[in-house]
Structure 1
Amino acid sequence: MTRGGEPFLLLTGPLFIGSLFNWTLLGTLVIQTYVYYSSGFKDTKWIKAIIISVLCLDIVQTVFATHAVWQILILGWGNPLTFVELPWTSYTFPVMSGTVAALVQFFFSWRIWVLGRNTVAYVVAIAIDLIAVMQMVAGLAGGIQTAFIPIEKVGELKPQFTIWLAGSFGADVLIVVFMLWILHQNKGGIAATNGLIDQLTVRVVHSGAITALAAGVELVLFIRMPSTFVHDTPALFLGKLYSNVLLANLNTRRRNDTTYSSGGITSVNSSTHPMFSIGNRIRRQADGSETQLPETTGSDFKVSTTVISDAV
């Protein structure tokens, strides 16, 4: 039996699914923000400003997205003209997502700048910032232009939306690749240091892959199906993926996890790493004996220098 909504399934279904993910990720973001501020991290004011900014932007984006979905799916139910005259809040999807993505990419480019401390790192960090600004402006332009054309002509805005999504994807890939390169460059002959680097490597890959994959999927869907709302499913929650990745990276410093904390590798807790005590440069063997470690260069522990505290 054919149902009345089936002809519009590719318009209504993606909005419903995207809205569910949107609210779910907002809840996760609020919890992560609470965890961050309850942990008492002594981060710089600009980092805290970014956190407040992305939280406020994502709350506003959720309100806008919910208004758009309500207008289309509820108030516009059974009226095909709803898809011709879309609510103004639906045009804010690329604007809000592009802005939040840029703020998070600025943070990670700064981290590359701090960790790398060489010409290559500086060039890459600047390149990421420029790409972040480019994709944000493209998202803003695409969102504004969408308000002045009918839905069947959205495909004509392919250059703007391609720059927005490809820019987000490209910046994320650059962040992952050069963070991995920096971590690899700092591997040495000390097992505990290498263990911390391996932990960082896993986190970098996971966080970068999530946002890059979402931006890439949305780009492909927009190119292949521009006259539907299928590409709006990831667009509804893309910004919140970036925000959650940012908070997840910052909150890894809780409890005994000192990978991102200040003070260098001396902050490694002996209960977490019982085989290694850098404070006295002593390696404890399994039989309880101790061996004095030779002097090491600062580069061996570069990965553990402060990257998000007031000391920078």
Structure 2
Amino acid sequence: MTELFSQTVATDAWRAEATRWIGSELSRVGRRVTGEVVQRRIRPWSTQLVVPSDRGTVWFKANCRSSAYEPAVHLALARLEPGEVEAPLAIDVDRGWMMTTDRGTTLGDSHAATLEEWQSVVELAARVQRQVAEHGEVLVAAGLPDCSPATVPARYRWLVDQLAALPADHPSHLPAEEADSLRARTGAVEEAVAALLAAPLPVSLQHGDLHPGNVFVVDDGMRFFDFGDAQWAHVLEVLAVPYGFSTRVTHHPWAALLDAYAQVWADLLDREALESLLVPAMVTHAVNRSFTWLGALEGARPEELAEWGDSALYYLRLTHEPFPPEEPESGP
């Protein structure tokens, strides 16, 4: 039976082990724990501990098996892009553990981010993507999942099989008839991949959860963190989360966010052509996001499955939904 991550990290024995590691690693960098270590939250995919030290608050994060690559990827990104990603204080690659310096309230938690701040976030993401696009070997070697377009059709077929094999009472169980229908539509996924491969935009870092809550403002600059959902994927997939925020949460004009992102790629592709590529990119994103969710919930407890368990199926179904979503007809 798969170890239930969120059950394990809630035990006194696990917390004692993590606290010992924290103390040892802080000592190594010339710090010491000065108060109670508090477990801030537990999710099926990660947990965080808040650590008071003699040189300020420190955050500890432990990841589940499927996202245990995050500490090594975070460190690799900090070495490639030190201006945008701050190096962790310590990592344990084998256990997926990491300690980072507290940088205060995130941009998103400090206030409702303005349109201009959202534009800065997506523009910075695009610049980082351009800068690390030639370093895929480094990041994939660090554990970043290779979800590049060429890998997507096989992943799609694998996901259909995996979800169809789940127990009938699992929230992401794929009924047999629907599974057959999705298998028959593999060609649509392959067409989306072909469109992306024919265009000049590269594969690069896909943050996976790009929004102001995962950004700190430091010395008047922005730095990203939280790479537990990151992938090596088509660059446009990073816009899925900003699009969702723009259309359902903040209601900032999507066109303005897309303008900010597109200007970074203007020498390769004009804005209109870039926007048209969002249609196939959201197909590959849906497949890759389903893959992330399936891994994140492999050791979830029943109550966690009740809350998040249908996510893998939800995103797999989105593979064949139109983008942008069709507006409902108004009037009778």
Using the size of structure 2 for normalisation, the TM-score is: 0.24
Structure with larger RCO (C-alpha < 8 A, sep 6+): 1
Which is richer in helix?
A: 1
Using the size of structure 1 for normalisation, the TM-score is: 0.25
Which is richer in strand?
A: 2
